[in-house]
Structure 1
Amino acid sequence: MAPKEEVWNPSVETVTPVITLSFYFYPTSTTGVVIQREGFAFSYSEEFEQSEWVAYSLSSLDFSNRNFNRPFFIEDPKVKSRSADWRNYKKSGYDKGHLCPAGDRKSSYKAFEETFYTSNISPQLHEFNDGVWNRLEQKVRYWAKKYDGLYVVTGGVLSDNLKSIGEENVAVPNYFYKILMTKDGKKMIGFLVPHEDSEKALYEFVMDVNTIEKMTGIDFFPKLPDAVENKMEKSNDYKEWSF
């Protein structure tokens, strides 16, 4: 049975568990393979052996000071076509880069553990993963606390002729994106970050969401009213966000 349609009202909090993204805010999928876990949802691309997007809600309750033991990366049993084996990354020169960071899912061990399924990773250069991408992830946590919660969508830009690694040809994106919307539905911001080491300020990677949609073929918040969606997705003004 399909879930009951929700009525958009930016002044009312969406009725969902803290760590779950409401179906209402799922992006579209170019693959038709959308899977919901406890802590996030994702759209898996067998062609590229990774998710085209991972989506989740984030609040200050999700990044507690709990120190969980890191589990091993394993294939995702919910992906019927089988997600990529972690051995594709072995001696590849690339990190197993989390899309939904483990540090964003500390409300429970189960939510934390789920981030180590290979459906939630993408090949990332260590200097990128530990550098500019990590800086952006930390800033997202800052905003989640400051603005009383965010919806987050993130992934690599998957396209033809990408480099690949391993026997399963896991694609290596040239760009990674992150799109944020405050839970009150009043602010949205997009980031498009080249897959390389960078010391640039984070605001230099701000990109209007419309451009990221054209690059990926994904509509990130399709159920927003058109007037609201069009206004927020055309903007690349970062001045409303505290950098």
Structure 2
Amino acid sequence: MKSYISYFLFYLFLLAGSCKNLVHISDSSDTRTASSSTAGNMGKINVQIATDVPPSVGENSNMYLGNPSNAQPSFIFKNNYLINLEYYIMSYDADRGIPNWVSWHLNSDRLINNTKRSNKFVEYTGLPESWYQVQHRSYTASGFDRGHHCPSADRLTSEQANASTFLMINMLPQAPNNNQRVWNNFEMYLRKRVNEGNEIYIIMGSYGQGGVGNEGYALSIDDGRVAVPSHIWKIAIILPEGTNDLDRIEAGEAEIIAITTPNENSVRSSWKNYIVSIRAIEDATGYNFLSELSIPMQNELELQSDQAA
């Protein structure tokens, strides 16, 4: 029995130590800088945080409807590492060099255009030093785009907000036609819905391995350090902008759109060709979406696949 207790206490020690590596915010008059709080384990985090970040918890926060993979902010969870970048939140897989999923909230406040597109792709320096940092050059001449999870145009409220979307941990190797056509069309459609008076809880990710870009089929890029997923998915929970979001979703007021596309150049331009149910994405990924809702409502919403206008 003592040996089991010792192992348990050792695990708690590791978990507590790694949790010190969470983003630490130091306040200034206009912006906040995310930086490492434990020297030696992580580098200085190159993320500037302004005052336009969404709420960190509760309604309108980036992970309000649940943590689908139960990601944790501990380096023990190398393949399911929770990273809160304030403007969006993700589960990161260090072995694949891409997120498992990225989650964010979009409403009219987030679409206020106060800056221009950064276009400066940079590595994220807040990972443990032993993990590979994906670089801008990791994608060069690969035949795949640096495909955003949280789009640049969803975060134009400040230079800091937009710069956060160009961190390489927000990217995946995406077939150019997939990124520039069907995916761009879906992103623009969702922003149109927000401009019509709605708010949206969005989560995007990928699964599988092997896609077809401009240079043909590839399982990975960057000498095997960045996986090329076979499928890319997105879930949008759309509500009229307002309050008491969970209650309104439970009351059946939400519209559900979920799509999954093959990561190939041969995709069609209309996202409506790729509508699926949330349950289909759960079956493909093993994730549990909408976990903050009641089980009956989860089941009802996750089986819907035909609500897109």
Deviations 1:24-50 (A, max 9, x none): 533224633111112100000012110
| Distance in 2, Cα, partners of 1:196 & 1:97 | 13
Q: CA deviation at 1:51?
A: 0.2
> Which residue in the other structure is 2:154 paired with?
104
Q: Is the 8 A contact 1:52 1:158 kept in 2?
A: no
Aligned residues: 227
> Which residue in the other structure is 2:229 paired with?
173
Q: CA deviation at 1:95?
A: 1.1
Q: Is the 8 A contact 2:238 2:256 kept in 1?
A: yes
Alignment equivalent of 1:164, drawn from 206, 220, 226 = 220
> Which residue in the other structure is 2:193 paired with?
143
> Which residue in the other structure is 1:232 paired with?
301
Q: Is the 8 A contact 1:164 1:171 kept in 2?
A: yes
Is 1:43 equivalent to 2:91 in the alignment?
yes
Alignment equivalent of 2:100, drawn from 38, 52, 71 = 52
The higher relative CO (CA closer than 8 Å, separation ≥ 6) is in 1
> Which residue in the other structure is 2:255 paired with?
187
Is 1:210 equivalent to 2:285 in the alignment?
no
* Structure 1 pair 60–97 and aligned structure 2 pair: CA distance change class (3 A): same
* Structure 1 pair 17–209 and aligned structure 2 pair: CA distance change class (3 A): closer
* Structure 1 pair 196–83 and aligned structure 2 pair: CA distance change class (3 A): same
| Distance in 1, Cα, partners of 2:106 & 2:229 | 25
Code of the aligned partner of 1:165:
I
Code of the aligned partner of 2:191:
R
Q: Is the 8 A contact 1:95 1:123 kept in 2?
A: yes
Deviations 1:99-124 (A, max 9, x none): 11011011222111111111100011
* Structure 1 pair 126–175 and aligned structure 2 pair: CA distance change class (3 A): same
| Distance in 1, Cα, partners of 2:59 & 2:65 | 13
Residues 126-141 of structure 1: matches in 2 within 5 Å?
126-141=176-191
> Which residue in the other structure is 1:27 paired with?
68
Secondary structure, aligned partner of 1:131:
helix
Q: Is the 8 A contact 1:76 1:82 kept in 2?
A: no
- Percent identity between the two aligned chains: 27
> Which residue in the other structure is 1:5 paired with?
none
Is 1:119 equivalent to 2:169 in the alignment?
yes
Deviations 1:108-150 (A, max 9, x none): 2211111111110001122221111110111111223335201
| Distance in 1, Cα, partners of 2:270 & 2:140 | 32
* Structure 1 pair 83–188 and aligned structure 2 pair: CA distance change class (3 A): farther
| Distance in 1, Cα, partners of 2:162 & 2:234 | 20
Which of structures 1 and 2 has the bigger CA Rg? Answer: 2
Secondary structure, aligned partner of 1:167:
coil
Q: Is the 8 A contact 2:117 2:162 kept in 1?
A: no
Code of the aligned partner of 2:255:
K
Secondary structure, aligned partner of 2:178:
helix
Secondary structure, aligned partner of 1:212:
helix
* Structure 1 pair 136–113 and aligned structure 2 pair: CA distance change class (3 A): same
Secondary structure, aligned partner of 2:276:
coil
Is 1:61 equivalent to 2:109 in the alignment?
yes
Instruction: Give unmatched runs, 5+ long, in structure 2.
Output: 1-55, 72-78, 212-217, 240-244
